[in-house]
Structure 1
Amino acid sequence: MPGDLELVDDGTGGTVVMLDGHPQSYVQLDNPRLLVFEYVQFLAAVVDSLPEGPLAVTHVGGAGLTLPRYVAHTRPGSPQIVLEPDAALTEQVRAALPLPRGHRIRVRPVDGRTGLTALADASADVVVVDAYAGGRVPAELVTTEWFTEVRRVLKPDGVLAMNTTDEPARRHLARLHASVHAVLPHTAAIATSEVRKGRRFGNTVLVASARRLPMDQLPRRVNMTAFSATLVSGRELLGSLGSARPFTDADAEPTPQPPVLDRWRVR
């Protein structure tokens, strides 16, 4: 059993998946559309902006399998692969929070770098990266080499959606974006207004593709989330982050350590 996993009943029918002392997922079995964390809503907005019908989705990072459940519910028949190295975590989560009938979600007990290399070229409409260890995105998931492998697995018009975190100065985010942009040149970033303006540590969802992003749908979907969110893309995004050197496998760094949480509550 994973020593740092805790499943917390929120008293309203939902469960918070805590990992390494940090809230990682929120699951309500009878309402998979209910997405509590802002970054999960942002990831879902990216998925929702794509053409209707089933999507082949590869998820790097599993935890409570919140987004795979959402995709299975909103786009029935979608084949999904989840790369989650902690098999004990997956076993405990699935025992307490079983997946819905008829799902096409396959969980593979491997890390993202290992698991992605085993996938076929152009096999995914979407690659979602939402993987943390000790509250930080691992260094091996922020490099140009990693994103080159992501591009190989994506279909020509496929989309990457990656959840990351940074301090208010956003210097790690700038280098991470430079790594993505070097491989997938059409990029956007979604964050709350407070994070976007550098007022606090927080999450940003990076969106990227080799081709034009679905900007006819994505802004509307972001505006439909329950948070005061901002979407920045193209030259505006490049200008806001400033020049930065991409991460490589030789000099990669995990995302900064998150602040200590004295308490946590569902918003």
Structure 2
Amino acid sequence: MPDVDRRRAWLLTVDGAPQSYVDLDAPTHLEFEYARRLAHVLDTAAEPEQPLDVLHLGGGALTLPRYVAATRPGSRQDVVEADRGLLGLVGEHLPVPDGCGIAVHGDDARRWLEAAAPDSADVLVADVFGGSRVPAHLASVAYARAAERVLRAGGIYAANLADGAPFTFLRSQLAGFAEVFEELALIAEPAVLRGRRFGNAVLVASHAALDVQALTRRAAADVFPARVEYGDALRRFIGDARPVRDEDAVASPEPPDGAFSIG
């Protein structure tokens, strides 16, 4: 069950795993590394402070929507979260300010995506976990095509994924998005990419050229530096992996004990 713990700010956990961290007085503070990497994508998606239309699949405590509202005033954001109990908890304890441009919807991410208007989002951020696993219906090439349909020309898709060596799930996701989008990048800590531990990786896809240099600088400057894989290096990482169809799709692997513990 979701739980909110009040300290200096708010830490939201789901079944004991950290889900979101929010500082209501400092919405640009991002505690979790994966959230900062998604924010790097948002920061480089357009000129500073330029409003964006952003679709978030997975709501949590609305950490990234609050970040966008603070850094890009006037943005329009839709947040889709299937856990209505979680939405109620966040709405009661962590409501977003009136007029901030954030609209929250209780629905399944894939169902919402397939019903959404085409060419309606500048950025699509996917951070959907059923417990600690990405659901199978968000792991197929058909899902990638649904995401591509909703994005405008030059729009950017960014997803928080989790995997460990031999990266069967992550490589299949990259292969699927490479079949749909012209540009692809992956942001992760070197230890994760080398297979030394299970961890988060941010997949980035677009039809337009990605600002890989800016992403690389930002990721390298983090407290826990990350690497950006792109081009030939990323193609070598994908190797012979193939996209998966809906009927063959599986959820991301169960994290090993302690992989995402909060101590």
Judging changes above 3 Å, is the alpha-carbon distance between structure 1 residues 262 and 160 closer, same or farther for their aligned structure 2 residues?
closer
CA-to-aligned-CA distance 1:67-100 (integer Å, 9 cap, x gap) = 0000000001110001111122111112111213
1:15 maps to 2:10: yes
Q: Which amino acid aligns with 1:14?
A: A
Instruction: Report if the CA contact (8 A) 1:193-1:229 is conserved.
Output: yes
Stretches of structure 2 that go unaligned for 5 or more consecutive residues are none
Q: Which amino acid aligns with 2:84?
A: A
In structure 1, the partner of 2:129 is 132
In structure 2, the partner of 1:212 is 209
Between the two proteins, the alignment pairs up a number of residues equal to: 261
CA-to-aligned-CA distance 1:17-57 (integer Å, 9 cap, x gap) = 11132111101100111111110010000001122200110
Which one of the candidate residues 148, 152, 171 is aligned to 2:149? 152
Partner of 1:168, secondary structure, is: coil
After TM superposition, the structure 1 = structure 2 runs for residues 1-267 of structure 1, keeping only pairs within 5 Å, are 4-9=1-6, 11=7, 13-52=8-47, 53-261=50-258, 264-265=261-262
Q: Which amino acid aligns with 2:80?
A: L
**Percent pairwise identity:** 42
Partner Cα distance (2:83, 2:237) in 1: 36
CA-to-aligned-CA distance 1:148-192 (integer Å, 9 cap, x gap) = 010000011000000000122211111111111111131000011
Stretches of structure 1 that go unaligned for 5 or more consecutive residues are none
Query: Which segment drifts farther, 26-35 or 87-96?
Result: 87-96
Partner Cα distance (1:212, 1:93) in 2: 36
Partner Cα distance (1:197, 1:150) in 2: 29
Q: CA RMSD in A?
A: 1.5
Partner Cα distance (2:9, 2:129) in 1: 22
Partner Cα distance (1:74, 1:140) in 2: 32
In the TM superposition, what is the alpha-carbon distance from 1:216 to its structure 2 partner? 4.3
Partner Cα distance (1:22, 1:180) in 2: 28
Query: Which segment drifts farther, 91-100 or 202-211?
Result: 91-100
Judging changes above 3 Å, is the alpha-carbon distance between structure 1 residues 262 and 227 closer, same or farther for their aligned structure 2 residues?
closer
Judging changes above 3 Å, is the alpha-carbon distance between structure 1 residues 262 and 243 closer, same or farther for their aligned structure 2 residues?
closer
Partner of 1:198, secondary structure, is: coil
Partner of 1:182, secondary structure, is: helix
TM value normalised by structure 2: 0.95
TM value normalised by structure 1: 0.94
Instruction: Report if the CA contact (8 A) 2:199-2:259 is conserved.
Output: no
